[in-house]
Amino acid sequence: MVVFSFFIITGLLLASLKVARSIGGGGASMAIGWASRGFGAGVGAISGGIAGGTRWIGRQVAENEKVSKLAERSGFVGGGARAIKGVAGAASKSNLDVRAAKIPLTKTTLAGATAGFLSTQSGANVNFGQAKTKAELDKEKRERSEADRAKDNKKILEEGVQPDLTDAQKASMPLPQRQAYEKKQEEQRVALTQVFNKISTNEVVNMSSKDLAKNAAFIAPRQLEAIDKSDKFIEQDKDKIKTAHFAPVKASIDALHEDVKLVADTDPNKRVAKIAEFRANGRDYEKEIIDHKQRIRGLAEQQINLIDPETYNTNATDPVAKAKAQVFVDTMAQPQFKKLSESDRLTASQKNALKTARVEPIKSALDKNLPSSDPNNPFAFTANPKYNPTGAQERVRRIGPKDMAGLDVEILTHPNMLDIYTPKLLQNLGKQEDLVDETAAKIKQAIISEAARRPDGDSLKKTAQWLESADGRTAFLT
């Protein structure tokens, strides 16, 4: 019987070591220490009784939070933890003498045998607990996971993103330090993006306005829309959140406006100098300009509807604000422009102003003899192709057949515009209700007349031949 008691205690204490190691960190060291001392006490009990510290050890183990959590699990670790918890609870109430034990062996597990043994010694009702159902365990696991996730999210939101370094700060930093700083920034951005991608709109709406404003740039479009519709925030807080959310867009508009002025400047060396300045600071100016454009073209419909109307107010009295609005309107992708121009948030006059702003650069760029003395005019003609007929052609291609059909006939038939026409474009253009037969006839005549002056093999000559074919007459103008 003594030998069997020894095996029981040995088995339980080995289980305690495994559970202790599952606890991890400082808790593991403490628990393993308890287990080691407990093992010594067990051996002592077999040879002559447990020392007076048994009750203290029992209390420490029985009340340990991590042991309690592990006891809720299924499998070996859960069973072992429940066994330890039961042993510790009984040990905290009485001294154990395994030599006098009357162990009621049954067909139960080791935990059941030990429970009976402890009951005979202490009179305590020792119950190591029944294993919970899989559904109960899964539910508790989800709850713990959600609690842990909420805790992690709170930490990420409170940390936010380190402020961007100025060029002067970057220049004064050793390269490894600067790279480490920028790497940390990127990690913070990724973490915040993941937080807002995973949480629901309800969770976002229940966040504090302070946390939302601090991390507004990472709020998803659908979440921003929910915030704007929610009655949990006052209008002032909503405006702060939206202002912070669109701050990167405003920064991109500012950068593009500055680039427009450099391009339109009569001295091309100014832009060359700017590119060199960026390169000296480890930056790629041309790539950043592309990124700024992509940021605007990447705005979702909800964002376009919620952005400050002054962003696209091309009737602004301030010339700089007007020029920046023109940059925004010109940079927008066609689907964005279409949604905005049809939005119920705009008045009829605002919609007309928006459409005028969209086509005005084309009119200006088509006329080579239209210089501008206004340095803020982003579409003054220069030798740069962006603001000459080649640039105008690109804008017409970008706005698409539907809006193209509504352009002035002078633009659609301008000699510098004819090269954009292909059979495919004309076929799509011919499907638009806004294209009246008179305008279509003038486009056809302008193409045929200009093609007659072009050499064989010219692309416009091929377009003219298609227009005069049976397919062309059917698809574009009967």
Number of helices (H), then strands (E), belonging to the chain: the values are 26, 0
| Mean pLDDT of all residues in 318-333 | 90
Tokens read off for 160: 């936010």
Predicted local distance difference test score (pLDDT) of residue 377: 47
- For 188-235, what is each residue's pLDDT tens digit? 888 888 878 788 888 888 888 988 998 888 899 999 999 999 999 999
Q: Exposed, middle or buried: residue 327 (CB in 10 Å: 0-12, 13-18, 19+)? A: buried
pLDDT at 124: 46
Helix/strand/coil (H/E/C) assignment for every residue in 386-453: HHCHHHHHHHHHHHHHHHHCCCCHHHHCCCCCHHHCCHHHHHHHHCCCCCCHHHHHHHHHHHHHHHHC
User: Span 345-367, mean pLDDT?
Assistant: 81
Q: What's the pLDDT score for residue 466?
A: 93
Are residues 271 and 381 located together in one domain of the fold? yes
- If asked whether residues 241 and 255 sit together in one domain, one would say no
127 domain-assigned: no
Domain boundary among 355, 388, 404: 404
Give me the mean pLDDT over the 50-54 stretch.
49
Same domain, 273 and 309: yes
Confidence band (pLDDT; 50, 70, 90) for 45?
very low
Domain end point (choices 245, 270, 299): 245
Last-in-domain residue among 101, 122, 143: 122
* Residue 97 confidence (pLDDT) above 60: no
Residue 326 reports pLDDT greater than 50 = yes
**Cβ neighbours of residue 192 closer than 8 Å, sequence gap 6 or more:** 156, 157, 160, 161, 215, 218
Q: What is the pLDDT of residue 383?
A: 43
Residue 67's pLDDT band (cuts 50, 70, 90): low
Asked if pLDDT for residue 375 goes beyond 80, the answer is no
Q: Mean pLDDT over residues 236-248, rounded?
A: 94
Nearest CA to 197 among 153, 155, 239? 153
Residues 229 and 303 in one domain: no
Query: For the chain, what percent of residues have pLDDT higher than 70?
Result: 65
Position of tokens 């998803």?
220
Running DSSP on this structure, what letter comes out for residue 96?
-
The answer on 13 and 112 residing in a single domain is yes
pLDDT tens for residues 166-178?
777 877 888 888 8
Is the same domain home to 261 and 210? no
For residues 303 and 353, membership in a common domain is answered with yes
199 part of a folded domain? yes
325 or 170, higher pLDDT:
325
Q: Can you give the pLDDT at residue 53?
A: 54
Which of 168-182, 398-412, 419-433: highest mean pLDDT? 419-433
Rounded CA gap, 421 and 432, in Å? 15
Domain shared by 211 and 353, yes or no: no
Q: How many CB atoms lie within 10 A of CB 273?
A: 12
Is 129 within the bounds of a domain? no
What are the distances in angstroms from CA 389 to CA 215, 324, 334, 337, 366?
43, 22, 20, 22, 5
Cβ-in-10-Å burial (0-12, 13-18, 19+) of 204 comes to buried
Confidence (pLDDT) at 288: 94
Q: Please report which confidence band the pLDDT of residue 433 belongs to, taking 50, 70 and 90 as the band edges.
A: confident
On the 0-12 / 13-18 / 19+ scale of CB atoms within 10 A, 98 is buried
Asked if the model's pLDDT at residue 381 lies above 80, the reply is no
Q: Residues 388, 277: one domain?
A: yes
Q: What is the count of structural domains for the chain?
A: 4
In degrees rounded to 5, what are phi and psi of residue 380? -65, 145
At 350, is the secondary structure helix, strand, or coil?
Answer: helix
Residue 236 lies in a domain: yes
Higher pLDDT, 373 or 305: 305
User: Residue 373 has what pLDDT?
Assistant: 41
| 83 within 8 A of 116, measured Cβ to Cβ | no
Question: Are residues 212 and 314 located together in one domain of the fold?
Answer: no
Q: Which H or E run contains 54?
A: helix 54-62
Q: Look at 34-38, 322-326, 345-349 and tell me which has the smallest mean pLDDT.
A: 34-38
Question: Residue range 119-148: average pLDDT?
Answer: 62
Give mean pLDDT, residues 258-278. 86
Residue 385, domain member (yes or no): yes
pLDDT band at 181 (very low <50, low <70, confident <90, very high): confident
Band of residue 415 on the pLDDT scale cut at 50, 70, 90: confident
Residue with more model confidence, 383 or 257: 257
pLDDT at 167: 72
Same domain, 384 and 263: yes
Residue 389: CB partners within 8 Å, gap ≥ 6? Answer: 365, 366, 368, 416, 417
pLDDT, greater one: 349 or 69: 349
Q: Of 387, 417, 386, give the one whose Cα is nearest residue 404.
A: 417
Q: Which 8-state DSSP code applies to residue 20? A: H
Domain assignment of residue 64, given as a range = 2-122
Within a domain: residue 128? no
471 within a domain of the structure (yes/no): yes
Asked, for residue 188, whether it belongs to a domain, the answer is yes
Q: What pLDDT, on a 0 to 100 scale, did the predictor assign at position 33?
A: 53
Which comes out higher in pLDDT, residue 376 or 81?
81
Stretch 335-355: mean pLDDT, rounded? Answer: 87
Mean pLDDT within 144-155: 72
303 and 386: one domain? yes
Please state, in angstroms and rounded to a whole number, the distance separating the CA atoms of residues 467 and 478: 10
Of residues 86 and 295, more confidently modeled: 295
